[in-house]
Amino acid sequence: MLVETHVQTIDSTTPARKDCPVCGSPGSAPLYRQEGVPVHSVLLFRSRDEAVRFPRGDLELKHCTECGFVWNAAFDESAMRYSADYEETQGFSETFNDFQRRLAERLVKRHGLRHKKLIEIGCGKGEFLTLLCELGRNTGVGFDPAYVRERSRSRESRRVRFVRDFYSPRYADVQADFICCKMTLEHIAWPAELFRVIRQSIRPGYNPVLFIQLPCFRRILEETAFWDIYYEHCSYFTLASLARLFRLTGFDVLHLERDFGGQYLIGEARLTNGVKPVVSVAEADDEAAAAALIPGFQRRAAAAIEGWRRRLQASLAARKRIVVWGGGSKAVAFLTAVGLGKAVSLVVDINPHKHGTYLAGTGHRIVGPAALKEEPPDEVILMNPIYRDEVRGELESMGLRPTVSTV
């Protein structure tokens, strides 16, 4: 998922990590702190002991008062282990696949992506790049050390090539009409450096669209979503700060929006044409809204965590059987912050590659939905409300009607 640049790993205690990684400003304000969180959330742990004993790090989110970027000043790049055991895909959910297909269709139509050359930086298991190539008869190259060739479901294998490596300047010979970086930028400790590497790699005759999708930090602020702050995500953007990153690194903004129930930011840009950019009303409003929500976030998060802790303690005292649905980063962040894992019996996930593995930090066993027929839950805590209808349908198909609550 990460991208190699010429910037070396810098220890979190050095002054450079305290300055803004986007604009270099020394002016920052503390935003959120949590100690002792697992440094990876979706690695496949095949024993409970391995999951519980996995290394931990700290969250020390800082907010740049100059450009609006938010980053984990305590992040250590050397702790990251992206490999075939990194199980990030959401492609087993029909809800997510419907969203992804609609997005791909919009991009193909908006940018005329037919018989074009595509690059995806941080392609995961390759589903989105493959979809873009199938829809537009495009050719593509995906970069990701976590790619697993045996998982490919492509009907266009001759059109899509995958490189199990980090994207870096040594791949500058791979040119494209469209560059995709989807759910990857939040993993990059030096996002401005990535954009400069991309810009410097573009050769004369090419003017690709740069497409970015990543979590929306304003939504985290709005919902006090402490479960969406975790170690792997070292960089956080709002619509306004993403636009500023584009411009600081030589790109003009083409399109900005929030999607997937407001959870994701989408940004599209091209190399600057030299015309002074105009900041849109939407950007200005977004910046003001985020700035108003940042003060007091630590206090609000602490109150939300304590509320969930009391709720789980009450369920534990009442001998209720509780399961968490969603065995990914949100579950790790939620259970680590609340610290009452003993109240939860199991973690459920529809991804079959996770079944029989264990959740980072807490060591909960991850099972498929069918396991609930043998051990029916009283309550299901769903880690993402956008999947509510899908999960309810799954439960009802098994004749189960537990209480379903969402974070």
Q: Express each pLDDT in 168-217 by its tens digit.
A: 999 999 999 999 999 999 999 999 999 999 999 999 989 999 999 999 99
The pLDDT value given to residue 13: 39
Torsion over CA: 268, 274, 275, 279 (sign) = positive
Q: Which domains does the chain have, with CATH numbers?
A: 1-295 (3.40.50.150), 312-406 (3.40.50.720)
Residue matched to tokens 């912050």: 337
The pLDDT value given to residue 7: 30
Closest CA to 324 of 366, 261, 370: 366
Contacts 24+ apart (CB under 8 A), 193-196: 193/5, 193/6, 193/7, 194/3, 194/5, 194/121, 195/245, 195/246, 195/249, 195/250, 195/251, 196/249, 196/250
**What is the β-pairing status of strands 139-143 and 160-163?**
parallel
The pLDDT value given to residue 83: 84
The pLDDT value given to residue 283: 87
The pLDDT value given to residue 152: 67
Cα separation, 22 vs 156, whole angstroms: 38
Closest CA to 149 of 184, 180, 176, 124: 124
Low-confidence ranges of the chain (pLDDT < 70): 1-17, 152-157
3-state secondary structure of 179: strand
Cα separation, 44 vs 142, whole angstroms: 22
pLDDT in tens, 11-43: 333 334 689 999 999 989 999 999 999 999 999
Instruction: Please report, in angstroms and rounded to a whole number, the separation of the first and last CA atoms in the chain.
Output: 26
The pLDDT value given to residue 3: 46
Contacts 24+ apart (CB under 8 A), 388-393: 389/95, 390/93, 390/94, 390/95, 391/325
The pLDDT value given to residue 280: 78
